Copies of this chain bind each other. A is one copy, B any other.
Amino acid sequence: MDNSGTVADHDGLSAIFDRISAIGAHSGQGVTRLAASAEDGAARAIFAEWMTRGGARMAEDAVGNQFACFDWAGENAPWVFAGSHLDTQPRGGRFDGTLGVLSAGCAALGLQAEKQAGGFKSARNLAVVNWTNEEGARYQPSLTGSAVFSGALPLGEALALRDGAGISLGDALAGIGIVGETGSVPPRPEAYVELHVEQGRTLTEAGCRVGTVEGTWAARKMTVRWIGRAAHTGPTPMADRCDALLAAALGIAAFEAVMAEHYPRLHRSAARLVVEPNSPNVVVERATVWFELRGLDISELDRAGKAVLTAFETAAVDTGTRLEVSADALRAPAGMDGGLVAIVDHTARLCGFEPLAMRSVAGHDAVALQNSGIPSALIFIPSVDGIAHHPDELTLAEDMQAGLTVLTAVLRHLAEGGYGNGQAR
Which residues does A use to contact B, with CB under 8 Å?
89-92, 135-137, 140, 142, 164, 198-201, 217, 219, 221, 229-238, 240, 243, 245-246, 248-253, 256, 264, 267-285, 290, 292, 294, 360-363, 386-391
- CB pair A235–B200 under 8 Å, yes or no, is yes
Query: CB-CB < 8 A to A245: which residues of B?
Result: 252, 270-271, 273
Q: A90-B282, A253-B253, A277-B90 are in contact. Are A390 and B271 (CB under 8 A)?
A: no
- CB pair A136–B91 under 8 Å, yes or no, is no
Least CB distance, A291 to chain B, in whole angstroms: 9
- CB pair B234–A294 under 8 Å, yes or no, is yes
A318 nearest in chain B by CB position = B256
Give the distance in Å from the alpha carbon of A246 to the alpha carbon of B289 in the complex: 12
Query: CB-CB < 8 A to A362: which residues of B?
Result: 232, 234-235, 281
Query: CB-CB < 8 A to A283: which residues of B?
Result: 269, 271, 389
Q: A252-B246, A277-B91 are in contact. Are A388 and B269 (CB under 8 A)?
A: no
Give the distance in Å from the alpha carbon of A248 to the alpha carbon of B256 in the complex: 13
**A91 contact from B91, B230, B235, B272, Cβ within 8 A:** B230
**A199 contact from B229, B236, B248, B270, Cβ within 8 A:** B236
Number of copies: 2
Give the distance in Å from the alpha carbon of A142 to the alpha carbon of B273 in the complex: 24
A383 nearest in chain B by CB position = B235
- CB pair A237–B277 under 8 Å, yes or no, is no
What are the 8 tightest A-B residue pairs by CB atom distance, in nearest-first order? A234-B362, A249-B252, A200-B235, A233-B269, A90-B277, A232-B388, A137-B279, A235-B361
Give the distance in Å from the alpha carbon of A274 to the alpha carbon of B198 in the complex: 30
- CB pair A389–B232 under 8 Å, yes or no, is yes
Give the distance in Å from the alpha carbon of A44 to the alpha carbon of B360 in the complex: 58
**A271 contact from B137, B229, B279, B292, Cβ within 8 A:** B279
- CB pair B135–A279 under 8 Å, yes or no, is yes
| Listed residue (A135, A235, A245, A253) with the most chain B CB atoms within 10 angstroms of its CB | A235
Query: CB-CB < 8 A to A229: which residues of B?
Result: 390
A91 nearest in chain B by CB position = B277
- CB pair A238–B253 under 8 Å, yes or no, is no
Least CB distance, A249 to chain B, in whole angstroms: 4
A272 nearest in chain B by CB position = B280
Query: CB-CB < 8 A to A91: which residues of B?
Result: 230, 277, 285
- CB pair B238–A249 under 8 Å, yes or no, is no
Least CB distance, A259 to chain B, in whole angstroms: 9
- CB pair A272–B279 under 8 Å, yes or no, is yes
Query: CB-CB < 8 A to A389: which residues of B?
Result: 230-233, 279, 281-283
Query: CB-CB < 8 A to A282: which residues of B?
Result: 89-90, 92, 137, 271, 389-390
Give the distance in Å from the alpha carbon of A285 to the alpha carbon of B201 in the complex: 20
Give the distance in Å from the alpha carbon of A360 to the alpha carbon of B232 in the complex: 12
Query: CB-CB < 8 A to A271: which residues of B?
Result: 233, 245, 278-284
Query: CB-CB < 8 A to A360: which residues of B?
Result: 235
Q: A91-B230, A249-B252, A272-B275 are in contact. Are A386 and B280 (CB under 8 A)?
A: no
